[in-house]
Structure 1
Amino acid sequence: MDMDTEKVQSVQLEFNSIDDLIRDQRDQTEIVEDDSLRQHDSDQPGGSQLKYSIDDIPPWYACLLFGLQQHLTMFSSALVFPFIMANMYCVPDDEKSTVIAQLFSSIVLIESVGTFLQSTFGTRLPIIQGIAGALYVPASVIMSTQPWKCPDPETEPDLNNTVNSTVEYEITYSDRIREIQGATLVAACFQMLLGFSGVMSFVIRYVGPLTVGPTITLIGLYLYPISLTYIKIHWGIAVLSMALTTIFSQYLRKVKVPYPRCTCKPQRKCSLDGANIFALFPVLLSVLISWLVCYILTITDVFPYDPTDPAFEARTDRNAESIASIPWIWFPLPFRWGLPTVSVAAVIGLCVGSVASVIESMGDYYACAAISGAPTPPGHAINRGISMEGFACLLAGMWGSLGVTSYSANIAAIAITKVGSRRVIQWTSALLFAFAVVGKIGAVVASLPTPIIGGVMWVSSGLIVAIGVSNLRHTDMTSTRNLFIFGVAVVSGIMLPEYLNSEPGIIQTGSFEADQVLETILKTGMLIAGVIGFVLDNTVPGTAKERGLLTWKSIDAGRKFAAESYDLPFGMSRVRGWKWTRYIPICPTFAKKEE
């Protein structure tokens, strides 16, 4: 018996040794496969064949060109919003050009600072911060009511002109700006509280593909009306821009452009090398070529010189006078229009807009991580991201700009160019700062014809929709339950805002604040789709496998090295050494507490 027992134990030890060896070999194989995955292929939509992933650092000159490419993608919004805001604030015609220039510099400066903070200390994803459209809706509603409503020049005297009036009115455009500034400051503090308190990390425990998918899809669908406003200015130029972007990014992405390469060591030698220029710079190349075509059509007077003609926006010289008059260096200052004012109605409206902006940003975080080769954002990264956006909104309130949010168009640009490096976005923030301070540079870039941007956004909005739908691959889409949830969420996010836009003033609760809150919520399609998807997915019975949660949670199980992408840029050894940091929602160690 003793001999038999010893033989059994010996055989068992051998099996255990073999089992350990197989396990070790499997672990090593997974590490090698994961490293290869990081460098060459991502298990995320849009992340395959990345030229540069999130932690890669391209050469400085490449970063400069990639950053310029990203800047051109989002510059149209920074250019359009000052004009929209000037009309919203009822700025007199004789002061409008100056105020627009001041608003433009303030907006670009906040976008610069917000982008750097987000990519360096926030989520640390390659994501750009721009003006939040979700905050413009409540701001415009506030400015359309008394006493802020612009006067009718035919029936009322000009409230901004006290020279030719016998009565001195108190409401001026600076008063309107200060009212929105005050509401923005309070809403920013509310958004920072959402991030620093850890509420968002609690919410994402219940977030799955059927919440993120509809949200991202509606972000893409929200972009197409904006792009259409640029496209219809001149369909020919817009189609040219779209076609060139498509050709460069899809048909010519594997074509290498030859260039000479010389080395001095170990021996002087010159050879002919090749680079995938079309795959790396599809947007930049299409913009430059389209810009050249517009310049030729401008100097040959093919485009009309009448400012009332929509095709005038396709001219490259339409801002020639502004370029000449704008100073070389001009730094915007905080509280230029005076100390902010605060009212309950404005604060409630912009706080609701902040919630919509947060939901939109969360969808953008998932989309950006997916296409840049990073793992699903952990709770602490989401908390930091929302906190940094709130802090940038706080700065926006000080400088007289609307709050910022993550920009979907730039995420789509990453999917086109396959460049998801964090360093590129940091360079983009430096370029934004230069355009905010160096007035001449910003004015020259402002001469970019808007139909060109419309063509680029044509491609970008389609990519965002596709990325949103691709999240459903984790779920069982043969399930009637999942089809129902996704379909109802998306259609509701389209239908309700469309109905409210076609029936203005339909909401009448008897309370201005309540009307404003409901209108803001129901006009934000991304918020509606995300909330409906979230509620139905967490209340309608379904298995974890059916809902896609098993695959969703295990996407990054074999890619734990990439979780370091969300660590703070410095001081991580001390953060991990302090036990109390596990209770801080914005610390990387907070995720371990959740596990």
Structure 2
Amino acid sequence: MKPVLDIHERPKLAKWIILSMQHLFAMFGATILVPVLTGLSPSVALVSSGLGTIAYLITTRGKIPAYVGSSFAFISPLISAMTFGGPGAVMLGTFSAGIVYGLTSLLIMAFGVNWLLKLLPPIVVGPVIMVIGLGLASTAIEMAMNYDASTGEYVDTALHFTIALITLTVTIVSSVFFKGFLRLIPVLIGLVTGYVISIFAGLVDLTPVQQAPWFHIPDFAIPYITVDPVYSLAIIGIMAPIALVTMAEHIGDQMVLSKITGRNLLKNPGLHRSLLGDGIASVIASFVGGPPNTTYGENIGVLAITKVFSVFVIGGAAVFAVVFGFSGKIEALIASIPGSVMGGVSILLFGIIASSGLRLIVENRLDMSENRNLVIASTILVIGIGGAFIEITEDLVIPSMALATFIGMILHGVLPNKTIGYGNGQLFESVEDDQNNG
């Protein structure tokens, strides 16, 4: 694929701005959705994604044109952490996820990647990804049908669910039938459409938007350290294990980027550097109160269509994200989006997460007629979706998603015939070949 702009080429200023804004729009819907659903600040999430992307580009020596932002995989753990201890707990959890990335990067640099692939086979990663999506299904429906948690009742359901379904329909149509760049921003198109309809339906109060200043300081959270080991272990147990799952997604992103750019990015600058970039981005997010960061498939899609691989364009999008984060009107606008609109988009997004896990199983041709694979997948799904947990102490609880991940890894480790759990090993063998052979 011959690039319009290669990785280290810098466009002229006017073109640079347009191309960077294009990437900003591609990531905008997903990046703001995570904090809105979890109770964090969208402005802080924008700032942390911008700063994280700049750190990622520096860490990877300007060789990987990737944008990092809020990860959907962490939505459920973030909600749990917010309930458990508020923004401070989220920051500790985000920091721990970043550390997991960093330690994994160091281990890959020292011992190669084979140990990680054995720890996270497709038969474990696929069902865990499905748990992430299906575990959030009730959240999407409650938003779409306007569930009032304070009263335990659904309010004006017909109107809200209608708007949610319209938002969902527009998002689906945009994703399937639109061409070019518009096909890459279905979430943003769906949000805008649902928002406009909500205005006419009288569900939006624009007064806060009108009164908000153009410039404001985002609601950054002040980092603090707790000396309570039980509290700390509880938060780490909620958040850190999910980093293992997003690593598998990260590897897939790097392989796609390698094919698009015509470079072996898994070898140069290396998987260890790209994982470290995700880790540093998440640590930065933890210092300002943002959610964990990971590379974005939406922006990879923009690269594929435009053939503009320039890291300067990605860096420009990061700068714009930081600038947008300091706009009071943008934050107020995001805050005014009705829950039914968010719910409509979430129905599709959470379903796509679950389907991605199923896709991983299919692509690796896992034989689900084998009892070994059935046992592992079934156990992970029921424990994760069913909400099982282990309460070690009053404050130390292993939540369902982390528990499902741990049990899946243990089952894969102790049950015989491990090779069955890798299927054809398509994704994992390709990574190993890239690491060894270039």
Larger Rg: 1
Q: Is the 8 A contact 1:218 1:529 kept in 2?
A: no
> How far did 1:470 drift?
2.6
- Cα distance in structure 2, aligned partners of 1:544 and 1:137: 35
> How far did 1:78 drift?
2.0
State the partner residue of 1:587. none
**Structure 2: which amino acid aligns with 1:216?**
I
State the partner residue of 2:155. none
Q: Is the 8 A contact 2:38 2:79 kept in 1?
A: no
Relative distance call for 1:245 and 1:142 in structure 2 (3 A) is closer
State the partner residue of 1:113. 51
> How far did 1:500 drift?
4.1
State the partner residue of 1:406. 294
State the partner residue of 1:232. 145
Q: Is the 8 A contact 1:357 1:405 kept in 2?
A: no
| Post-superposition CA distance 1:158-198 (Å, at most 9, x none) | xxxxxxxxxxxxxxxxxx76676567656755653343343
Relative distance call for 1:357 and 1:436 in structure 2 (3 A) is same
**Structure 1: which amino acid aligns with 2:287?**
M
State the partner residue of 1:195. 105
TM-score, normalisation: structure 2: 0.72
State the partner residue of 1:73. 30
Instruction: Report SS of the residue matched to 1:129.
Output: strand
State the partner residue of 1:535. 413
- Cα distance in structure 2, aligned partners of 1:455 and 1:434: 28
Higher relative contact order (CA 8 A, sep 6+): 2
Q: Is the 8 A contact 2:380 2:405 kept in 1?
A: yes
| Post-superposition CA distance 1:286-318 (Å, at most 9, x none) | 3333332222222xxxxxxxxxxxxxxxx232x
Q: Is the 8 A contact 1:111 1:130 kept in 2?
A: yes
Q: Is the 8 A contact 1:128 1:406 kept in 2?
A: yes
Q: Is the 8 A contact 2:64 2:265 kept in 1?
A: no
- Cα distance in structure 1, aligned partners of 2:224 and 2:351: 42
- Cα distance in structure 2, aligned partners of 1:285 and 1:231: 17
State the partner residue of 1:344. 229
Q: Is the 8 A contact 2:124 2:412 kept in 1?
A: yes
Relative distance call for 1:115 and 1:529 in structure 2 (3 A) is farther
Relative distance call for 1:286 and 1:238 in structure 2 (3 A) is same
Q: What pairs up with 1:222-371 in 2 under 5 angstroms?
A: 222-233=135-146, 234-253=160-179, 276=180, 278-298=182-202, 315-317=203-205, 320-321=207-208, 323-332=209-218, 336=222, 340-369=225-254
**Structure 2: which amino acid aligns with 1:109?**
V
Instruction: Report SS of the residue matched to 1:524.
Output: helix
Relative distance call for 1:496 and 1:413 in structure 2 (3 A) is farther
**Structure 2: which amino acid aligns with 1:553?**
E
- Cα distance in structure 1, aligned partners of 2:265 and 2:123: 17
- Cα distance in structure 1, aligned partners of 2:81 and 2:170: 37
Relative distance call for 1:119 and 1:242 in structure 2 (3 A) is farther
> How far did 1:390 drift?
3.3
State the partner residue of 1:47. none
State the partner residue of 2:116. 204
**Structure 2: which amino acid aligns with 1:527?**
T
Alignment pair present for 1:130 and 2:70: yes
- Cα distance in structure 2, aligned partners of 1:124 and 1:526: 33
**Structure 1: which amino acid aligns with 2:381?**
I
State the partner residue of 1:139. 81
Structure 1 regions of 5+ residues with no counterpart?
1-34, 40-50, 84-102, 144-175, 254-275, 299-314, 558-562, 564-590
State the partner residue of 1:29. none
Structure 2 regions of 5+ residues with no counterpart?
147-159
Q: Is the 8 A contact 2:171 2:345 kept in 1?
A: yes
Q: Is the 8 A contact 1:219 1:526 kept in 2?
A: no
Q: Is the 8 A contact 1:329 1:438 kept in 2?
A: yes
> How far did 1:436 drift?
1.6
State the partner residue of 2:132. 219
Instruction: Report SS of the residue matched to 1:406.
Output: strand
| Post-superposition CA distance 1:448-505 (Å, at most 9, x none) | 3333333333233333333332333454555633xx444434432332244446xxxx
Relative distance call for 1:459 and 1:417 in structure 2 (3 A) is farther
Relative distance call for 1:438 and 1:105 in structure 2 (3 A) is same
- Cα distance in structure 2, aligned partners of 1:351 and 1:550: 32
**Structure 2: which amino acid aligns with 1:406?**
T
> How far did 1:118 drift?
3.6
Instruction: Report SS of the residue matched to 2:336.
Output: coil
* Greater share of helix: 2
Instruction: Report SS of the residue matched to 2:217.
Output: coil
> How far did 1:446 drift?
3.1
Q: Is the 8 A contact 1:544 1:550 kept in 2?
A: no
- Cα distance in structure 2, aligned partners of 1:183 and 1:286: 31
- Cα distance in structure 1, aligned partners of 2:94 and 2:422: 41
> How far did 1:368 drift?
3.2
**Structure 1: which amino acid aligns with 2:189?**
L
**Structure 2: which amino acid aligns with 1:110?**
S
> How far did 1:200 drift?
8.2
> How far did 1:238 drift?
1.7
Relative distance call for 1:495 and 1:426 in structure 2 (3 A) is farther
**Paired residues, number:** 407
> How far did 1:71 drift?
0.6
TM-score, normalisation: structure 1: 0.56
Instruction: Report SS of the residue matched to 2:70.
Output: strand
Q: Is the 8 A contact 1:252 1:278 kept in 2?
A: yes
- Cα distance in structure 2, aligned partners of 1:371 and 1:111: 21
